[in-house]
Structure 1
Amino acid sequence: MQELIEDFLQYLRGIWLKRRYILLALWIICPIGWIAVTLLPNQYTAEARVYADTRSLLQPLLKGLAIQTDPGQELAMMEKTLLSRGNLERIARASDADIRVNSSAEYDELLDDLKETIEIDKTRRENLYTITFSGDPPQYVRDVVQAALDVFVENTLGEKRQDTDTANSFINQQIQEYEARLIEAEKRLASFKQEYTEFLPGKETTYYSNLEAVKKQLEETRLQLSEAQTKLTSARAQLASEEALASQQTAKVRTEFDDRILAMQTRLDDLLLRYTERHPDVIEMKRQIASLQRQKDNAIVNAKTPAAIASESVIYQDLKITVSQLENEVASLKVREQRHQEKVESLEQRLRQVPDVEAKLTGLNRNYEITKSKYEDLLSRRESALISESAGKTTDDIKFRVIDAPRVPLEPSGPKRPLFIAGVLILALGIGVGLSFVFSQINPAVSSVQQLYQQTGFPVFGVVSATQSSGLAKIEKRKMRVFVLSNAVLLCGFIGFMVINLLPNLHSKIILGLGGLL
């Protein structure tokens, strides 16, 4: 720690030995800086305070009827966009700042200067806004603040009207589009209902009931057909029995050929025992038997036939009529069964189409209901927008009250010349100390026994002080007097510049005098 203190003291002694650089820096920088600060143009500041009242008696009354907006968000948006290029151009035109420039580059610089200089502040809790601007001359400063205040108020009030007009135009356009879509959806739905009227909901029950009824009729028809076929089979069996009975009666009729045929048949059997089928005697015997059989048949035909015998029976006649009626009934029932079967298949085919038709109808109804709901919602919103527009024409959601109007500043607000003058002095002193330190390190001078020992490495046994005869003490005193006197003069100059810049009237007179001399 002791070594650090000793090193610090050595640096201070080195700076002191090179103090002429401090003096040079002070005398070069301070006069120039003080004069420059004194000649800085005056800056005037104007401000305006405005209160935005967002409370409205109509808001509770119009709740649910009109479109409610948040005035706080509108104010926040306008606060952020006040310094946009469009608004800055309006401010420049309103304050006649645009006539002070001669080129587009200067105009852009003017807008940049307005953007950097105009300030808008808001208190945390209350909607109290302060608009501030600093510049020169005073009238221009006041005009800029007034223009910024006007733009802020007009934009806030006009933005809602513009939004209302835009919203109404958009809603009307959407209503026209949805109205056309609604009409088209209604046409598609009506056309679909006309095409598939028998498949619509409610008809399905009829289809199922009809199908069940037809199936029941088909089952009854098949039952009747089965009964009729059974009766027909029984009647045909009875008829066949009667015909067989008649045949038996016919077979009992004997002729003159029966004995001969029987004798020849017996002889044929004997021949077949001895000969084959191809033997001439066998063939001749078969021929004779066949000839006799034909003669017998002709004799029987000429006598009563089985049909004739059967036709003489009343039962046979009734059975024949019954069979004919049953055959007609069976044929009729088959036709009816076929028709019922076709009707069942047709109904089943149609019922298979019902789910598809219902799905399509559901889609059409869904699209129609969505379009209708949106259309009705848009109509409701248009009414709300119209009510909001009427309410906006009657009263404003935001009312501005100017607390402090901008005034032409009588005294300059800046620049802070005394602070700048002190800053120039501190800057010059710092530069001088820095230069002295740098040169003390570049060209060091031994100022203590300890430093000499550190640099040479030889022990120091004594120190010889400067005598009057050497003239060193006189030179050192003269340097000290010059340093002190120069700093005293510089201090007087510092005090003088501070006084001039602390008194605005004196400063103005001096500036005017210098302007006349120049």
Structure 2
Amino acid sequence: MHDLLDQLSGYFSDIRSRPWHVILTAWCVACIGWIGMLNIPDRYQAAARVYVDSQSLLRPLLSGITVQPNINEQVTIMANTLISRPNLEKVARMTDMDLLAKTPAQMERVIADLNKNLTLKSTGYGDLYTIAYENRNPTLARKVVQALLTIFVENGLGNNRKDITSSQKFIEEQLKDYEIKLETAENDLKNFKIKNAGLMPGEMGQDYFSKISDMQDQMRQTEMELHEAENRRDSYKRQLSGEDPTLLTDAISSSNTPEIDARIESLKKNLDTLRLKYTDQYPDIVATKNLINELEASKKKESKSRKPLSGSGPSTLYQQLNVSLVEATAQAEALKGKLDAYHSQYAQLRGQANRIPEVESEYAQLTRNYDIYKKNYETLLSRGESAKLSGEMQNKTDIVDFKVIDPPRVPLTPSFPNRPLLASIILLGALVCGLALAFLIGQLKPLVRSKKSIEAITDFPLLGIITLIENAQSRTLKHRSRIFQGISLGGLFVVYAGIMTKYLMSAAQ
């Protein structure tokens, strides 16, 4: 530790023994630095602060009714892309900087300078932005900031309206396309139903297999009724074959066949009821018509064959049996025709068995397409109304409000260089350079300062020391030298103080 202190003391003695090296070096370095500082051109920075207010009162009121984009995200993206080449070219045109560029290379330098010196910063809240630009011309700096601020506000308002307009146009085009698709799907579905009438799934509340089962039940029921009608007809024939037609009084022979008339009237009423429900081709209607025609023919035939009242006529029982036979025969024929019609329909249904799955599959596909088109059309229609309302809201109100907190102004003091700070750094650097030079010379040309240094250099023991006694003239010269050293060093600080005073007073004004 003692050796280290001795070594440091030796270094300090080397520097102290060469004060003029320190002072002259400091003066040279300081003068060169300050002259260079004065030659650095001034640069002025213009700045503006703008607040983006996206908290509109209409947004919560119209939530769920209108399309509300993420305004904060859009503003962030717009801010990040503000300093782009198209915008920089627009700024150059707005500030007439493009007039200074005579060639494409010069224009590239203008764009590069704008890109280098333009800054856009956001605060921690994300809603307050600072636009700054630095240039040698303070007026031009303000113009550039004003131009970029204008572009920032216009893009913020214009992009939202442009997005809404584009969305409305796209939705309208899609609505027209889906309207055509929906009409086409409706026509295809209608034509398919007409073409495959009777084969549609669930038609008349029944499917194909239910129709087959019902048709089989109706056929069995009709066969039973036909069998009963044929038995009655055969029974009447057997009874008529053993009856004497001449056992009757004159009173009965004068009858106008009231049984046939009553039967015809009942069948006509039943026919009217059936026509209210079915078409004329329905088997029951056809059978009823045939039965009425047969009864009418039987009535006419009986009227023609009737004998005068004064003579002998057929017996009452014979007439009744004859009418019953005619009715039973007509009913049997009608049921037979009805059964034949059922057999024909059953055969037709059985023949369509292979067609049913194909019809159901195609019908399901057509229905699915129609439902999809209808759902998309209704969704687009709803979205179109929302987009329309959003456009009205954008046009009549300001969803995003740009508030300029600090407008750009022409700067009066340069932002670069900071000459007071730079002058202080130059002074400190000059002193360090002087001390370093004195230390370096001391290492190259060391001086003997102590007994140990002599013994270390000569490797001989020191036998004695002779003290130097200064006379008056030597002391006077040494004193004057120290005065000049102090004046020289003080002059350096006086010059520094003058520089600081000048620029601090300029900044205060």
Give your verdict on TM over 0.5.
yes
Give structure 2 stretches of 5+ with no counterpart: 225-338
Deviations 1:249-278 (CA, angstroms, capped at 9, x unpaired)? xxxxxxxxxxxxxxxxxxxxxxxxxxxxxx
Q: Which amino acid aligns with 2:411?
A: P
User: 1:99 maps to what in 2?
Assistant: 99
User: 2:78 maps to what in 1?
Assistant: 78
Tell me: CA distance 1:485–1:370, structure 2 relative to 1, closer, same or farther (3 Å). Answer: same
The residue matched to 2:65 in structure 1 has which SS? coil
1:370 and 1:458 mapped to 2: Cα distance? 113
User: 1:179 maps to what in 2?
Assistant: 179
1:351 and 1:449 mapped to 2: Cα distance? 131
Query: Any conservation in 2 of the 1:466–1:472 contact (CA below 8 Å)?
Result: no
Task: Give the TM-score normalised by the residue count of structure 1.
Answer: 0.62
| RMSD over aligned Cα atoms | 4.4
| Number of residue pairs the alignment of both structures matches | 393
Q: Which amino acid aligns with 1:44?
A: Y
1:351 and 1:455 mapped to 2: Cα distance? 127
- The offset of 1:437, in angstroms, is 4.8
1:506 and 1:181 mapped to 2: Cα distance? 76
Q: Does 1:362 align with 2:355?
A: no
Q: How does 1:116-135 map to 2 (within 5 A)?
A: 116-125=116-125, 127-135=127-135
User: 1:322 maps to what in 2?
Assistant: none
Q: Which amino acid aligns with 1:368?
A: Y
Tell me: CA distance 1:495–1:193, structure 2 relative to 1, closer, same or farther (3 Å). Answer: same
Task: Give the TM-score normalised by the residue count of structure 2.
Answer: 0.63
Q: Which amino acid aligns with 1:487?
A: L
2:489 and 2:94 mapped to 1: Cα distance? 52
User: 1:430 maps to what in 2?
Assistant: 432
Deviations 1:287-310 (CA, angstroms, capped at 9, x unpaired)? xxxxxxxxxxxxxxxxxxxxxxxx
Query: Any conservation in 2 of the 1:47–1:145 contact (CA below 8 Å)?
Result: yes
Query: Any conservation in 2 of the 1:48–1:131 contact (CA below 8 Å)?
Result: yes
Percent identity (aligned): 35
Give the one of 386, 389, 392 matched to 2:388. 386
- The offset of 1:154, in angstroms, is 1.4
User: 1:498 maps to what in 2?
Assistant: 500
The residue matched to 2:377 in structure 1 has which SS? helix
Deviations 1:389-426 (CA, angstroms, capped at 9, x unpaired)? 22222122123343443333344444311111111122
User: Which is higher, the Rg of structure 1 or of structure 2?
Assistant: 1
Q: Which amino acid aligns with 1:87?
A: N
Query: Any conservation in 2 of the 1:218–1:341 contact (CA below 8 Å)?
Result: no
- The offset of 1:351, in angstroms, is 4.4
Query: Any conservation in 1 of the 2:201–2:207 contact (CA below 8 Å)?
Result: no
Q: Which amino acid aligns with 1:362?
A: A
User: 1:415 maps to what in 2?
Assistant: 417
2:188 and 2:492 mapped to 1: Cα distance? 99
Query: Any conservation in 1 of the 2:208–2:356 contact (CA below 8 Å)?
Result: no
Deviations 1:195-232 (CA, angstroms, capped at 9, x unpaired)? 54444220494421343356668999999xxxxxxxxx
1:457 and 1:192 mapped to 2: Cα distance? 125
Q: Does 1:88 align with 2:126?
A: no
2:462 and 2:361 mapped to 1: Cα distance? 116
Q: Which amino acid aligns with 1:172?
A: E
User: 1:38 maps to what in 2?
Assistant: 38
The residue matched to 2:48 in structure 1 has which SS? strand
Query: Any conservation in 2 of the 1:142–1:406 contact (CA below 8 Å)?
Result: yes
Query: Any conservation in 2 of the 1:500–1:506 contact (CA below 8 Å)?
Result: no
The residue matched to 2:112 in structure 1 has which SS? helix
Query: Any conservation in 2 of the 1:14–1:447 contact (CA below 8 Å)?
Result: no
1:179 and 1:452 mapped to 2: Cα distance? 111
Tell me: CA distance 1:340–1:506, structure 2 relative to 1, closer, same or farther (3 Å). Answer: closer
- The offset of 1:449, in angstroms, is 4.7
Query: Any conservation in 2 of the 1:46–1:406 contact (CA below 8 Å)?
Result: yes
User: 2:213 maps to what in 1?
Assistant: 212
1:5 and 1:116 mapped to 2: Cα distance? 52
2:86 and 2:64 mapped to 1: Cα distance? 36
1:362 and 1:41 mapped to 2: Cα distance? 82
1:21 and 1:64 mapped to 2: Cα distance? 82
Tell me: CA distance 1:448–1:62, structure 2 relative to 1, closer, same or farther (3 Å). Answer: same
2:167 and 2:159 mapped to 1: Cα distance? 12
Q: Which amino acid aligns with 2:209?
A: Y
Tell me: CA distance 1:400–1:497, structure 2 relative to 1, closer, same or farther (3 Å). Answer: same
Tell me: CA distance 1:94–1:32, structure 2 relative to 1, closer, same or farther (3 Å). Answer: same
- Which shifted more, 416-425 or 82-91? 82-91
Q: Which amino acid aligns with 2:174?
A: Q
Tell me: CA distance 1:491–1:199, structure 2 relative to 1, closer, same or farther (3 Å). Answer: same
Q: Which amino acid aligns with 1:35?
A: I
The residue matched to 2:68 in structure 1 has which SS? coil
- The offset of 1:72, in angstroms, is 2.6
Q: How does 1:261-276 map to 2 (within 5 A)?
A: none
Give the one of 371, 379, 394 matched to 2:373. 371
1:110 and 1:104 mapped to 2: Cα distance? 10
Q: Which amino acid aligns with 2:37?
A: V
Query: Any conservation in 2 of the 1:38–1:501 contact (CA below 8 Å)?
Result: no
Tell me: CA distance 1:56–1:212, structure 2 relative to 1, closer, same or farther (3 Å). Answer: same
Q: How does 1:133-212 map to 2 (within 5 A)?
A: 133-203=133-203, 205-212=206-213
Q: How does 1:230-379 map to 2 (within 5 A)?
A: 350-351=352-353, 354-379=356-381
Q: Which amino acid aligns with 1:422?
A: S
1:195 and 1:365 mapped to 2: Cα distance? 15
Give structure 1 stretches of 5+ with no counterpart: 224-335, 508-518
2:460 and 2:221 mapped to 1: Cα distance? 145
